[in-house]
Amino acid sequence: MYKIVTRKSLNPTVTQMEIEAPLVAKKAKPGQFIILRVDDEGERIPLTVAGTNPENGTVKIIFQIVGATTKKLDCKKEGEYITDFAGPLGVPTHTDGIKKVCIIGGGVGCAIAMPVAEEFHRLGAEVTSIIGFRNKDLLILEDEFNACSDRLTVMTDDGSYANKGNVTQPLKEYLEKGEKFDMIITIGPLIMMKFVVETAKPYNIPVTVSMNPIMIDGTGMCGGCRLSLNKDGKKVTKFACVDGPDFNGYEVDFDEAMSRGRMYADYERHAYEKTCNLFKGADNNG
């Protein structure tokens, strides 16, 4: 059992928790993830490590309430426990030799991008961060990005905060002015990452994308997280849990990934509604 040490809401749909997991806290690096179960009957879900405190033995996770399991997790309180917390899994983000990096996060993907930006800052790289949200109410982690970025641009789709537009706009402006990044790292919705890749392509700047497909066991056995890459004109299958989650953005078949990501949307929505009704019923009876 793993204790929830702290819990706070970052916005109406995103929650941050610190979980007591000393072994994971000791080993985890930026870009890696864990797989947890809320209870004995729960499904396994992957969540990126959003930070660690090895001295306290805690691991920070940030999640969006989108389905039944994240709804169950969100209803947990400080001092309560979750059943399983396995990790770290996946390959850490590559940092060697990168002196000037552009980190681009979208929505809850900023929770994954933030520890990566912090690691580059710790290593002495020049960090340019661009983070985007649908509106002001969904903004998260601005202060944390400010602390680890040499330059930070905040975008909102509706212009309700900072700059109006999407994250590709400031990226394009940087590139058109002749900025030469060693690497662009983008983490967020698939459609956002696809357009970041397309924006960077004419400038021949390497782009790393963090993929989060459907995942079950986290060891490459189930095949649920498979991705199609185009390598030298050939289609290659990789598994996000063991080969990623970071991949060369120019090789990812985003259209296929988006199609696979929609496969269980209806089922997940029904499961979420059922879980919400269960908690409402418990509240009404208690």
- Would you call the peptide bond into 206 cis, given omega within 30 degrees of 0 as the criterion? no
DSSP assignment of 181-238 equals -SEEEEES-HHHHHHHHHHHGGGT--EEEE-----SSSSSSS-TTEEEEEETTEEEEE
Cα within 13 Å of Cα(276), Cβ side: 9
pLDDT at residue 272, as a whole number? 45
Three-state DSSP at 56 gives coil
Q: pTM of the full predicted structure?
A: 0.86
Greatest CA separation for the chain: 63
Number of other CB atoms surrounding residue 270 within 10 Å: 11
| DSSP character at residue 80 | -
- pLDDT under 70 in the chain at which residues? 213, 217, 261-286
Cα(235)–Cα(253) distance, rounded to whole angstroms?
9
For each of the domains in the chain, give its residue range(s) and CATH number, in order of start: 2-89 (2.40.30.10), 100-261 (3.40.50.80)
Q: Give backbone dihedrals phi and psi of 270, rounded to 5 degrees, phi first.
A: -65, -40
The H-or-E segment that residue 104 falls in is: strand 100-106
Give CA torsion, residues 241, 11, 154, 91, to 10 deg. -10
For the stretch 195-204, pLDDT in tens is: 999 999 999 9
Sheet holding 100-106, edge to edge: 163-164, 151-156, 126-133, 100-106, 183-187, 207-210, 246-248
Closest CA to 19 of 38, 45, 43: 38
